[in-house]
Structure 1
């Protein structure tokens, strides 16, 4: 098998600012600092190991608020609502850039602030549209002054993973209405994979499995979800993307073996590798997560072209004599920065990573979510795994305690699955009928408000729920997941061996494959791809799913939520029926021409 490889670097335009004239025009009190975010207790198992070496520098990213606050939201609903005349008229990256651009006054204030602290214009660059600024090579001592921070080195307990973070940061009062967030500051978490591997389920043959196990393969899924007979016809236009974080790489020989065993009609399965942020992609070091994701999107959607985004950004081991620590990476942000800079983006993207929402500072989570919104407005369907801890969030968040030091128990939602601009995927198991998998994370965000597209569905669930679990969740917010698929008993080839895996990172590539086939059909009929899915899903597509009405997602010493008729925060709207969904695909009122 052969694969292509690209290395992607974000091109950043250098801003030349007349700092002296800006200082004359604006004379705010830069010493009037107000806290932007503060932790009462450091989240997770991070522990301080002291000051960084003298001379250590950090690159800061600053998210600026757009001049037109609701412009992008209005635009994405217009192009994603099948009943709107603009449905399918997706935006170009230039059009998105204009919608998210900050006000000129915002730029002048920020330039004055940076100039006040002696930041040279040559160290400041802007990402697409000027919505994010990057300030490179900032000495840690100067970053502390800029942000009223106290940067320290933190190590994750039991590992050598080290990051440079602060437990709080502040901005001058005048900047709070102009700046959404600054990174890296108080975001400690790196992307966590909601993947499970049952013990004792690895061997060279399926005979190693218990007779009680029900194996899942592409043939099983294609039959169960009614896509077996569909033959992709728009492979020159359609593409599906798969993300890999945390040093996860796809084994190309493993993919060949998997497809030979479980998709024998597939000839020479290939994929493009895009290297982001120096991921050091190595197909000779296959990872469970990467193999699972690629094997099942290929198993469902072949021969649709695939691209694998290999994203660097792991915390690195601390080297005492190092003065340039590569410890300030945010892999989600690194990936998104590249994606919004591309002229052409895959119509469907599958991502099986996330972490407990409470470990993401709210402003940081909102800023990332806005970037997902940008991709949605450009016609991209983004699917995220909901997590594997039931109402306890990720598999690492089982104690369910709030991380504000209060010790209060609360159901733990998972981000980015809670972002309203992505489609979140839960898990099921068994067949005839399918039931909710207990591992399927689901619930309600504590950061994002309930979007209008799911109001009716969520209120219908609350009528059935009554007062159960009152006080353990936020009933006025975004509910997740949106959809579900099989999540238990997946056969995966890893390093020339068979392994059985489970989790919502199994169900997510399956759903992504199904969505990619639907996009293929749309494109073959000269219609636009489905783009941001949720307005369609909760509207005319809602009857194209198999409603899951039994099972629950226990956690936090409770039975969790139950799957009920209609939408529920365990399996969403249900599992897909490809043929029924084909009958519910949107046809634009007009004939929009996609700019993506």
Structure 2
């Protein structure tokens, strides 16, 4: 079948609800505080080392509730689901000027349109600014960020932060390291602000240093010769054959871009990348990438890291010559050694990067991230707010790939960190983020405090990311470390219902009580994750983990986007509605292996989706055949 290729311009109008500017709320009582979040004990292996030095300041980020609470979630559904019934007006470019009606799928939003969807009500802004002024915070220290629904408050004395938030900030150090942070085990807000403020950071998010993947082991000289033997190392040529992409040559390189994130002081070695491509992708010439330094990461290509090298080498190995961007992000995940000028580290791992991304006009269509932490180490309000920032990228047509993790159904003793001692499987965040909203009714006191046009809710909208698990061998089986399971924060989206219920029918009562059966399942897809060849410090080494899988799948998604662009179609954007629909038959189903952890044998890979390997591993050619094709149709005249 041949399709008529049309150059179309889709008119996407963002309609905002009129704001009620006549509201006259009761004067708030700033001393009437209610807890926002509190740990029962200091999380994990962190230990208090006392009060910060006198005069220490902290920068606070305050997430405000959007005026239209679920507008962003609705928009992402409409532009990301090929079968969504909503339509957008399109106009064929001159000389015909014919108006058509096209599915809204692929009609991604601009930065400005997203900003309108997430904007807080003017009353919310006014109320929060009044609260800050009440505590002596100068307006000159307050600015908007993250698309307009966050406030950044700089240079706040810790004593003032304690008063603002009913907190007790202290210095904490992770056991056995020099990593020092300024945090509080609990914080509160005035009751009048609870329906306006989603979260404040940094407060109770401690996290933990990300565990390094399997340490690269040197294989200088003899390793290259051993690659062709059975049981040799995984290379781009092996993966391109295995996943059926070897014959595809990218052509839309002037439009398509792929991004790779780097935290923890991880940098890409230029010379290592050149050698890697020379050894394992010999047809590639002059592999390059743009570096964007965020939050003073100290990027230094002469100090390459195994994680950064792995991620860049394998996205390049799959998607070359597609242009690449490496985001080198400083912050909490980076080792921190305090000095007299900067005694504490108050940075969060994702907020600075997301603020930079949201401000950009042009963003890579595919982004790979191989970092995460146990979901329970992220306060729920903080996790949801960060997820909504990822959602802003999804609404703009970005496919976000996250490694699912390397600890099976959970590492360590898997006890809940609420002091209860209860054991439960431990999924990783942000890989668990997803969509779905849950609304709570307004109380009479709330109604008296806020304009009717503003609809506060308990919001579970997420960034709409795609989680990538791990496999190994040929034929492929589940890698035993592939983290998978079910979120304890995010609800299960509708597009995943049939797949998850099909798994539960096979699971039966096994592991009952150790997971949340009503929530989002992870991973979504998977790829090879064991014995990857990389070049590090000019030597060939090997490494394993789902941090190998994520860049592989990201590379394949980037090739699919390349094809879409070459055919004048929209890129894939948020992938999951398509993956769990038409594309589900484009994956190799993995039915063997399991992901033990938490003192159990974990979940097993079974026919269909499972929380070890997701839908399976990609077959590029089969996915090409299932790509969505939005077809404009004339608007009826009657």
Q: Same fold (TM over 0.5)?
A: yes
Aligned match of 2:177:
159
- Tell whether 2:536 aligns with 1:494: yes
- Tell whether 2:303 aligns with 1:303: no
Shift of 1:423: 0.2
Aligned match of 1:36:
36
Distance 1:139 1:481 in 2: 42
Whose radius of gyration is greater, 1 or 2? 2
- Tell whether 2:483 aligns with 1:427: no
**Secondary structure at the counterpart of residue 160 of structure 2:** helix
Divergent runs of 4+, >6 A = 207-212
Match of residue 518, structure 2, among 456, 476, 489: 476
Q: Determine if contact 1:190/1:331 at 8 Å carries over to the other structure.
A: no
**Secondary structure at the counterpart of residue 188 of structure 1:** coil
Aligned match of 2:239:
221
Distance 1:579 1:291 in 2: 28
Aligned match of 1:588:
630
Shift of 1:317: 2.0
Shift of 1:115: 1.1
Shift of 1:108: 1.3
Are residues 65 and 232 of structure 1, via their aligned partners in 2, closer, same or farther at CA, if it must alter by over 3 Å? Answer: same
**Secondary structure at the counterpart of residue 493 of structure 1:** strand
- Kindly report which structure 2 residues correspond to 1:510-589, keeping only aligned pairs within 5 A, or say none: 510-589=552-631
Distance 1:191 1:318 in 2: 16
- Kindly report which structure 2 residues correspond to 1:239-318, keeping only aligned pairs within 5 A, or say none: 239-313=257-331, 314=334, 316-318=336-338
Aligned match of 2:494:
452
Distance 2:536 2:549 in 1: 18
Distance 1:318 1:144 in 2: 22
Q: How many residues get paired?
A: 562
Aligned match of 1:63:
63
- Kindly report which structure 2 residues correspond to 1:138-149, keeping only aligned pairs within 5 A, or say none: 138-149=156-167
Match of residue 234, structure 1, among 235, 245, 252: 252
Distance 2:419 2:633 in 1: 55
Shift of 1:213: 3.9
Q: Determine if contact 1:191/1:354 at 8 Å carries over to the other structure.
A: no
Of 210-219 and 280-289, more deviation after overlay is shown by 210-219
Aligned match of 1:10:
none
- Kindly report which structure 2 residues correspond to 1:129-144, keeping only aligned pairs within 5 A, or say none: 129-144=147-162
Q: Determine if contact 2:338/2:344 at 8 Å carries over to the other structure.
A: no
Deviation string 1:50-108 (CA, Å, 9 cap, x unpaired) is: 01000000000000011111100110000001123100000001000000111111111
Q: Determine if contact 1:190/1:330 at 8 Å carries over to the other structure.
A: no
Q: Determine if contact 2:265/2:335 at 8 Å carries over to the other structure.
A: no
Distance 1:184 1:384 in 2: 23
Shift of 1:167: 0.4
Shift of 1:127: 1.2
- Tell whether 2:81 aligns with 1:81: yes
**Secondary structure at the counterpart of residue 586 of structure 1:** coil
**Secondary structure at the counterpart of residue 582 of structure 2:** coil
Are residues 127 and 77 of structure 1, via their aligned partners in 2, closer, same or farther at CA, if it must alter by over 3 Å? Answer: same
Are residues 159 and 445 of structure 1, via their aligned partners in 2, closer, same or farther at CA, if it must alter by over 3 Å? Answer: same
Shift of 1:205: 3.2
- Tell whether 2:421 aligns with 1:399: no
Deviation string 1:485-544 (CA, Å, 9 cap, x unpaired) is: 000010000001111100000010000000000000000000010000000000000000
Shift of 1:399: 1.8
- Kindly report which structure 2 residues correspond to 1:367-378, keeping only aligned pairs within 5 A, or say none: 367-378=385-396
Distance 1:214 1:406 in 2: 46
Are residues 518 and 212 of structure 1, via their aligned partners in 2, closer, same or farther at CA, if it must alter by over 3 Å? Answer: closer
TM-score normalized with structure 1 length? 0.92
Q: Determine if contact 2:375/2:426 at 8 Å carries over to the other structure.
A: yes
Shift of 1:251: 0.2
RMSD of Structure 2 on Structure 1 (CA): 1.8
Shift of 1:589: 3.3
**Secondary structure at the counterpart of residue 381 of structure 2:** helix
Aligned match of 2:190:
172
- Tell whether 2:423 aligns with 1:409: yes
**Secondary structure at the counterpart of residue 401 of structure 1:** coil
TM-score normalized with structure 2 length? 0.86
Shift of 1:452: 1.1
Aligned match of 2:349:
331
Q: Determine if contact 1:191/1:245 at 8 Å carries over to the other structure.
A: no
Q: Determine if contact 1:205/1:498 at 8 Å carries over to the other structure.
A: no
Distance 1:89 1:209 in 2: 48
Q: Determine if contact 1:191/1:331 at 8 Å carries over to the other structure.
A: no
Shift of 1:44: 2.0
Are residues 26 and 328 of structure 1, via their aligned partners in 2, closer, same or farther at CA, if it must alter by over 3 Å? Answer: farther
Unmatched segments (≥5 aa) in structure 1: 1-21
Aligned match of 1:11:
none
Q: Determine if contact 1:315/1:329 at 8 Å carries over to the other structure.
A: no
Shift of 1:42: 1.6
Q: Determine if contact 2:236/2:317 at 8 Å carries over to the other structure.
A: yes
Distance 1:208 1:556 in 2: 39
Distance 1:166 1:209 in 2: 52
Q: Determine if contact 1:191/1:353 at 8 Å carries over to the other structure.
A: no
Are residues 303 and 326 of structure 1, via their aligned partners in 2, closer, same or farther at CA, if it must alter by over 3 Å? Answer: farther
Aligned match of 2:368:
350
Shift of 1:451: 0.9
Distance 1:114 1:261 in 2: 58
**Secondary structure at the counterpart of residue 390 of structure 1:** coil
Distance 1:557 1:38 in 2: 28
Distance 1:571 1:140 in 2: 45
**Secondary structure at the counterpart of residue 123 of structure 2:** helix
Shift of 1:409: 1.3
Unmatched segments (≥5 aa) in structure 2: 1-21, 85-102, 435-463
Shift of 1:326: 4.9
Distance 2:251 2:199 in 1: 44
Q: Determine if contact 1:545/1:575 at 8 Å carries over to the other structure.
A: yes
- Tell whether 2:222 aligns with 1:205: yes
**Secondary structure at the counterpart of residue 107 of structure 1:** helix
Q: Determine if contact 1:188/1:360 at 8 Å carries over to the other structure.
A: yes
